[in-house]
């Protein structure tokens, strides 16, 4: 194994991007890291290549995605209903159940070789949650976790009124991650009425805009969230162009 840990993270802002194109971009970068790790197994330590890390931020047009452990019945729309809502639907290879992505929602895809940081998926998920919790705190929104449930919640100590503000679902192979989190900033929450969010039928969904009664600057939120991720993971960021990431 390469003992030269690389905490440099190439940050890519994909802006508003079709879900399939965003997924393809993730898969390309994910496969790149996996291929390097496989090649390194047959090389002496001094000849091994350092694995890169990426953090993608984006928004998506209206789309519902179903994780590999999810139930299709948690999508409450048929094909005609999806067309009426101008929404797409994908079965994808992350963990978790069904969720919604759309404009006004900040989606983050960390594509990291955790061997550059720490090899603990539980800790990884908690760090993602903690970065969101710290970001919300900057807007005077108190958030936390609920035992047994992933993501970030408001009124998390009151089960009857708890509301999810950030959903999470990841994939990991050979300690390389993909997929990630979706923070509702200015999200149209009506779209969540068409699913059983994350397969949980007794909890509401909320957004920063709903809680603060005003729209927010999503780029400002993204800047703060990136900062907190960097602090927690001890990342060293630099910008990376979309064209290079896509292999253009």
Q: Give the active site residues.
A: 198
Q: Is the Cβ–Cβ distance between 92 and 23 less than 8 Å?
A: yes
Nearest to 229 by CA among 160, 130, 141: 130
The DSSP line for 49-90 is PPPP-EEEEEE-SSEEEE-TT--GGGB---HHHHHHTT-EEE
CA distance 62 to 89: 9
Strand blocks (E) in the chain: 8-16, 54-59, 63-66, 88-91, 98-101, 105-111, 143-146, 149-154, 163-173, 176-184, 204-205, 236-239
- Tokens (6 digits) for 74: 């948690």
Q: Is the Cβ–Cβ distance between 50 and 2 less than 8 Å?
A: yes
Residues with Cβ within 8 Å of 79's Cβ and at least 6 positions away in sequence, in order, are: none
């Amino acid at each position: 194994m390469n003992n030269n840990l690389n905490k440099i993270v190439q940050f890519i802002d994909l802006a508003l991007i079709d879900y399939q194109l965003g997924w393809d971009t993730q898969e390309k970068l994910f496969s790149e890291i996996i291929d390097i790790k496989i090649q390194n197994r047959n090389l002496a330590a001094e000849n091994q290549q350092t694995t890169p890390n990426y953090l993608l931020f984006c928004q998506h047009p209206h789309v519902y995605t179903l994780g590999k452990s999810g139930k299709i019945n948690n999508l409450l729309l048929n094909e005609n209903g999806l067309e009426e809502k101008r929404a797409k639907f994908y079965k994808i290879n992350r963990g978790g159940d069904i969720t919604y992505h759309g404009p006004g929602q900040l989606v983050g895809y960390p594509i990291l070789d955790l061997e550059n940081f720490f090899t603990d998926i539980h800790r990884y998920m908690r760090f993602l949650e903690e970065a969101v919790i710290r970001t919300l705190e900057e807007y005077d929104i108190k958030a936390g976790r609920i035992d047994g449930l992933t993501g970030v919640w408001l009124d998390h100590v009151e089960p009857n009124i708890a509301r999810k503000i950030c959903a999470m679902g990841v994939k990991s192979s050979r300690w390389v991650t993909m997929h990630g989190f979706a923070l509702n900033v200015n999200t149209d929450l009506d779209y969540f009425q068409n699913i059983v969010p994350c397969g949980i039928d007794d909890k509401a969904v909320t957004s920063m805009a709903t809680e603060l009664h005003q729209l927010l600057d999503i780029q400002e939120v993204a800047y703060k969230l990136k900062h907190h991720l960097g602090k927690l993971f001890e990342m060293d960021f630099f910008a990376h162009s979309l064209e290079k990431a896509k292999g253009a």
